[in-house]
Amino acid sequence: MGPGPRWNESATGTADVVPMKKRIPSRKGGAAAGKAAATSALALEERKDAVRRASSRRKEADLSPPVKTGSGPAHSEVQKMGTQKERPAMRSVALDLAVRKIAYCEVRKGQVLSRRTVSSLESLRDLLGPDSEPSRVAIEACREAWHVHAELTRWGNEVILVDTTRVRRIGVGEHGRKTDRIDAEKLALALEQGGLPKAHLLSPARQQLRFELGIRRALVQTRAEYVTTIRGIARAHGVRLPSCGTDHFVSRLRRAPLDPAQRELIEPLTSIIEKVDLQLAQAERHLQAIVENDAQIRLLMTMPSVNVIVAAVFVSVIDEARRFQDAHQVGAYLGLVPLEKSTGEHRRLGAITKQGNSYARAMLLQTSWGILRRTSGSDPLQCWAQAIAQRRGKCIAAVALARRIAGVLWAMWRDDAAYDPARVGLRSATGLARHAEDIEFRAAAMKRAATKAHRRARVHERKLQEMSH
């Protein structure tokens, strides 16, 4: 019985039945072998054609069916909304801000597209204004940065503030070439590549607090300079003015034994000090109004020796407690950690880095000196600093205490907790205990090393004695 019919898999629609031809065996072996080879080759080609046609049918089946236009409820959201166009990538722009001019640079795919140098930000409205395409704009942190950031954001751009202390890593100032034009290009290229060192932008409330503190600081420095000048003039005329606070200096000066010529000489400075005292009182009133509405400042004032100014300055600089991971980062941000130039097994520490806000660092140091100079008290921070002063001296102890105060203030702010001397004392005791353990461990290790060296020396001495005999 011959082979049955086979299915034609390459046909479209309903499969057809193709009858199989009955093979007739040949009497000649060579002819039969040739016919068998031809039949095998033909079957192979038919199978290849069938696979190609089946693959073509699968591709046609994967295509989406044609959509009928109409207003029926079966329409998809894409059909209702229409095809959405792909949003173009934002432009990469950098501005180098100077006092009298602004350098503009735009790049794309590593190439400079346009440059411009203008005298004001308003001159860039056609490139960065509300009617232009939104851009990602990089600007360095400087005096004008807050205003420029707010204006560019209002125009619809994404503004990135760049940390000026770390711009050398992106090529600014390399090979001794640094101009506004080159700096803008380097910033734009780094922005496109995604390697910009970003700086923190203060919130509007902290910016206003920083302005108020800056005005008060200028008034205090002006009054101090004039008081020092008047005291020098009086000493030059053989009159030593009594010591007093700057708040009461004018009233004490009126009662000082000065002749009319000397009073006439210092009268311009005296009148200016009186006016500065009035302006300073108004500045203090503005700060007091801000403090009454700021819970963080009032919380930090629960720490002894931390007054309104110290707490306000610390809050205006840190702005957000959660942006720091630990107290060591806060100390490094304020420039209160030592310089380090270590290599291999050698660790070299120097003076503090003095990076960050100098006014905040000065306020913390004044607070630490006030704590150290107290004659009595059981505050754990004072005891901790006095222990350091006995070992390393008062200057190092004051800096260490300032760094410790910054960490405690940050922890209070982070945990929203008032100052707890018992908790601080426990941390101080733990640190002192660990330090004592380190000293004891070091002493034991040095003793073992000395014993080892003495034992080795005795071995060599015994050998020398044996060789001499």
Q: What mean pLDDT do residues 10-35 have?
A: 46
Question: By C-alpha distance, which of 125, 124, 148 is closest to 201?
Answer: 148
Residue count of the chain: 469
Is residue 445's pLDDT more than 80?
Answer: no
Is residue 200's pLDDT more than 90?
Answer: yes
Is residue 3's pLDDT more than 70?
Answer: no
Percent of all residues in the chain with a pLDDT value above 70, rounded to a whole number? 72
Question: By C-alpha distance, which of 197, 137, 200 is closest to 168?
Answer: 197
Average pLDDT of the chain is 81
Amino acid identity at 79: Q
Is residue 393's pLDDT more than 70?
Answer: yes
Is residue 19's pLDDT more than 80?
Answer: no
pLDDT at 58: 47
d(CA 104, CA 96): 7
Helix (H, G, I), strand (E, B) or coil at 131: coil
pLDDT at 435: 56
**Which architecture characterizes domain 91-193 according to CATH?**
2-Layer Sandwich (3.30)
- pLDDT tens, residue by residue, 125-183: 999 999 999 999 999 999 899 999 999 999 999 999 999 888 888 888 888 888 999 99
Q: What mean pLDDT do residues 433-445 have?
A: 63
Q: What mean pLDDT do residues 342-369 have?
A: 91
pLDDT at 422: 79
Helix (H, G, I), strand (E, B) or coil at 108: strand
Question: By C-alpha distance, which of 387, 401, 270 is closest to 331?
Answer: 401
pLDDT at 195: 82
Q: What mean pLDDT do residues 186-207 have?
A: 92
Q: Which of the four pLDDT bands, split at 50, 70 and 90, describes residue 421?
A: confident
- pLDDT tens, residue by residue, 302-351: 998 899 999 999 999 999 999 999 999 999 999 999 998 888 878 888 89
- pLDDT tens, residue by residue, 324-336: 999 999 999 999 9
Tell whether the torsion through CA atoms of 298, 304, 310 and 313 is positive or negative: negative
Higher pLDDT, 21 or 259: 259
Instruction: Decide if 313 contacts 363 (C-beta within 8 A).
Output: yes
Higher pLDDT, 240 or 430: 240
Most confident of 35-39, 336-340, 374-378: 336-340
